[in-house]
Amino acid sequence: MNIEKFKKIAGNIPEDPGVYKFLDKENKILYIGKAKNLNKRVSSYFLDSKMHSARIKLLIKKTVDIDIVVVETEQDALLLENSLIKTLQPKFNIQLKDDKTYPYICIKKERFPRIFLTRNKINDGSIYLGPYSSVNRVKSLLQLIRQLFPIRTCNYNLSEENIKNKKFKVCLEYHIENCLGPCEGLQNETDYNLGIQNALTILKGEINPVLNKLDEEMKEYAVNYEFEKAEKNRLRIEKLKSYQAKSTIVSPKIDNLDVFSFVMHEKNMFIHYMQVKKGSIVSNKTIELKQSLEEDKQELLNFAVNYILSEKKNPTKEIIVPLAVKTIDENIKITIPKIGDKKNLLELAYKNALFAKNERILRKNNLKIGKVRDLEKLEKIKKDLLMTKIPYKMECIDISTFQGKQTVGSVVVFENGKPCKSEYRKFTIKSFEGSNDFKGIYEVVKRRYSRLVEEDKELPQLLIIDGGKGQLRFALDALTEIGITEKIHLISIAKKLEEIYFPGDQYPLHIDKKSETLKIIQQLRNEAHRFAITFHREKRNKVTLNNELESIKGIGPSTTIKLIKHYKSVKKMRQASIEELASLIGLDKAKTIYSFLNNSKDPVQS
C-alpha cells in the first residue's frame, strides 16, 4: 500500500484504542498490532516510512488493506491482540521459537488416578502441573510422591466392574508396599484419592498443610498405640521437610508469584519464567522470541509475559520483571525489585535465561555445552572490536619475503577460538616481483575471498591483517572489489604498540594488554607469521637446493626436479644410500650426487 492510497483511508481510522490488522492481496493477515490511538499508530507506518527497516518496508509493500477493531480500553486491546496473535500466528508478528517440548506432571482423570511424567498435554480433564525445565526435577518429584503416598504405577482400567470380577492381580509394587492393591479392591477409592489430593497439594508448592496433616495423624496413631503407622508418618514428615529445605530458595512468605527475566542475543530474546510458591520454584521454562518488526525489549517482554500468563489455569497475584509491562489481567501486581528476596529471584531468572542463550549458541555452532568459557571469550571479542556478530570464524593474513625474493602469503583460520589447521592456506605471490607488503596483502585477500564467494563457502566474521593502516587499506580495497565489505569485520594489528586499526578510523584502538581479546588476536597474528615464514623458508630452500644441484657437472634440470620431488629436503637426500639414489636417477648420477652431498657443506639449513 502506497502513501497515496493510505491517505484516502486514513480519515476513517478512529483515534480510539483497538487492534489493527494488515491484510495482503489474498486477504491473509500479515500483521496484528494494538494501539492506544489507532489513527496515530497505523499512520506511523506510512508517514515515516523512510526511517523503517527493510522488513517493515516489505510489510507495507505487501499490505493492500487494513482491518480495524475498536475496543473500550487499552487493556481490552492488549487482551484481543494477544488472543488473535496466538490463534492466527501472522507472518510478520513476533516469532515464538519455543521448539522445546517441556515435561509436565499429569494426574490422570480416571478411577484411582495415576501420576506420571508426560510431554503431551491432552484436553481430557486431567490435571497438568508444569512446565518444568528439567526432566530430572520431575523424576525426583515423582520419586518423592511415591515414597510418601502409595500410588499405583500400572495402567489398568480399574472400573468397578473389572475390580468386582477380579480381572487383575496385585503386582510386585504391592508386595514391596509401594501400592495398597486397589486393582483387587484392597484399597477403597476414598482412601486412595486422599493420597492423590495430598500429592497435588505438594506439587502445587503448598507443603505445610500436608506436613500438619501427617503430624496430626502420627500423634493420633501414637495415642492409639499404632506405633508402626506412627513411625511411617514420622519418616514421611522427615522426607517432606528435607525436600522443603532443598527447594526453598527465598523466604516461605513469598507466595504465588511469577518471575520473568531475559537476555538479548542479536535479534533474539531469551525469557526465563519461574513460578514461586511458599519460597519454592514449582515450575519454570525458557522461551525464545525473535524480533520481527524492530520491536524493543519492552514489547518483546510484554509479549512473552502475556503469552505465558494466558497459558496458566490458576492466575497469579504478582509478577516480578526487570522492565515495566502491561498484563492481560489488570488485577496482577507488577513489581520491579531493587533489593531483597524478590531481587534475588529476578537475578536467578536472569542466570537461567543467560544459560539458555549460551546453550542455544553452543549447539548452533557445534560447540560442546561445557565450552561456555570459549563462548564468553568470543562474545568479549565481539564487544571489544565493536562487531555486530560473534566471531566464530576468524582469519589472519601475513606476508613474508626475504630481500624481495620468493614473496609468499599465509592465511590461518581459527574456529570457535581454536586453530583449525586443516583450513590454513599458503599463497605464492604472482602479481609482482620484489618487496611490497601492500600489494601482497591485496593479492592474497582478493584470491582468498573471491574463491570462497565463488564456491559459496562460509566467510569469516573477523579478518585480521598483520600490519598498519597501509596494509588495512589495501585489504579493504580487495574486499570492496569482491563486494563483501559488509559481511566481514576487518581490522589490522600493528606490531610495536599492538594497536588495532579499523577502516576509515584515523585513530587506533588500544586494548588492555592483559585482555583475552588481545591475546587471541596476537595468537592469530603470531600463527600467521609462523606459517608464512615456514612456507617462505621451504620455497627458499628449494630454490637454493635447485641451484646447487644444477651446478654439479652432469646433473641437469630433469634430474634436479626428480630429486627435489622425491626427497623434499637436503637432509633426507643426504640420508639416502647410493643404491636408493641409483634406483631413482641411475648409478653414475647417484655416485656424483652422493659424493657432492657428503663431501661438501650443505648451504641450506634444513
Quick count: other Cβ atoms within 10 Å of Cβ 95?
15
Residue 107 amino acid letter: I
pLDDT at position 370: 47
CATH 3.30.70 residue spans of the chain: 257-362
Is residue 116 pLDDT above 60, yes or no? Answer: yes
Quick count: other Cβ atoms within 10 Å of Cβ 390?
20
Rounded to 5°, angle at Cα 129 from 239 and 115: 65
Quick count: other Cβ atoms within 10 Å of Cβ 265?
16
Can you give 398-467 as a three-state secondary structure string? EEEEECCEEEEEEEEEEECCEECHHHCEEEECCCCCCCCHHHHHHHHHHHHHHHHHHCCCCCCCEEEEEC
Is residue 112 pLDDT above 90, yes or no? Answer: yes
CATH 3.40.1440.10 residue spans of the chain: 3-93
Q: Tabulate helix, strand, coil % of the chain (nearest 5).
A: 45, 20, 35
Is residue 540 pLDDT above 90, yes or no? Answer: no
pLDDT at position 606: 33
Say which range, 208-212, 489-493, 538-542, 584-588, has the weakest mean pLDDT. 538-542
Is residue 423 pLDDT above 60, yes or no? Answer: yes
pLDDT at position 549: 65
Segment holding 494, helix H or strand E:
strand 489-494
Quick one: fold of 551-599? DNA polymerase; domain 1 (1.10.150)
Tell me the Ramachandran region of residue 364: left when phi exceeds 0, alpha when psi lies from -120 to 50, beta otherwise.
alpha
pLDDT at position 502: 93
Contact call for residues 521 and 541 (beta carbons, < 8 A): no
| pLDDT bracket for residue 461 (50, 70, 90) | very high
Portion of the chain with pLDDT greater than 90, in percent:
21
322 vs 228, residue with greater confidence:
322
Contact call for residues 272 and 350 (beta carbons, < 8 A): yes
Eight-state DSSP code of residue 509? B
391 vs 545, residue with greater confidence:
391
Q: Is 604 exposed, middle or buried (0-12, 13-18, 19+ CB in 10 A)?
A: middle
pLDDT mean over 535-563: 68
Cα–Cα distance, 381 to 518 (Å, whole number): 8
524-536 per-position pLDDT tens digit: 999 998 988 888 6
CATH 3.30.420.340 residue spans of the chain: 380-537
pLDDT at position 542: 62
Q: Which residues contact residue 455 at a Cβ distance below 8 angstroms, ignoring those fewer than 6 apart? A: none
The pTM assigned to this predicted structure is 0.48
Phi, psi values for residue 295, rounded to 5°:
-65, 145
340-385 per-position pLDDT tens digit: 888 888 888 888 788 778 777 766 666 544 455 677 788 889 988 9
Q: Out of 3.90.79.10, 2.40.30.170, 3.40.1440.10, 3.40.50.970, which CATH number does the structure's domain 3-93 have? A: 3.40.1440.10
pLDDT mean over 542-571: 69
91-102 per-position pLDDT tens digit: 888 766 554 566
The CATH homologous superfamily to which domain 380-537 belongs is UvrC, RNAse H endonuclease domain (3.30.420.340)
Q: Report which listed range, 329-343, 543-557, 580-594, is most confident.
A: 329-343
pLDDT at position 586: 85
Is residue 270 pLDDT above 60, yes or no? Answer: yes
**What CATH code is assigned to 257-362?**
3.30.70
Is residue 245 pLDDT above 70, yes or no? Answer: no
pLDDT at position 449: 94
Cα–Cα distance, 542 to 545 (Å, whole number): 5
Is residue 242 pLDDT above 60, yes or no? Answer: yes
Cα–Cα distance, 153 to 156 (Å, whole number): 9
Closest by CA to 28, choosing from 97, 95, 94, 92, is: 92
Q: Which whole-number Å values give the CA distances from 220 to 40, 225, 373, in the listed order? A: 70, 9, 57
3-state secondary structure of 337: coil
C-alpha cell, 267: 535479534
Tell me the Ramachandran region of residue 113: left when phi exceeds 0, alpha when psi lies from -120 to 50, beta otherwise.
beta
Strands 115-118 and 104-107: antiparallel
Cα 56 from chain centroid (whole Å)? 26
The size of the chain, in residues, is 606
C-alpha cell, 393: 570464524
119-137 per-position pLDDT tens digit: 887 878 888 877 676 677 7
Dihedral angle sign, alpha carbons of residues 583, 587, 589, 593: positive
Beta-bridge partners for 418 = 415
Phi, psi values for residue 309, rounded to 5°:
-65, -35
Closest by CA to 397, choosing from 409, 385, 415, is: 409
pLDDT mean over 524-552: 74
Eight-state DSSP code of residue 69? E
Q: If you average pLDDT over every residue of the chain, what do you get?
A: 82
Cα–Cα distance, 56 to 49 (Å, whole number): 8
Contact call for residues 392 and 461 (beta carbons, < 8 A): yes
| pLDDT bracket for residue 603 (50, 70, 90) | very low
pLDDT at position 604: 36
pLDDT mean over 64-90: 78
Portion of the chain with pLDDT greater than 70, in percent:
87
Contact call for residues 445 and 397 (beta carbons, < 8 A): yes
Cα-only R_g, the chain: 36
C-alpha cell, 200: 497435588
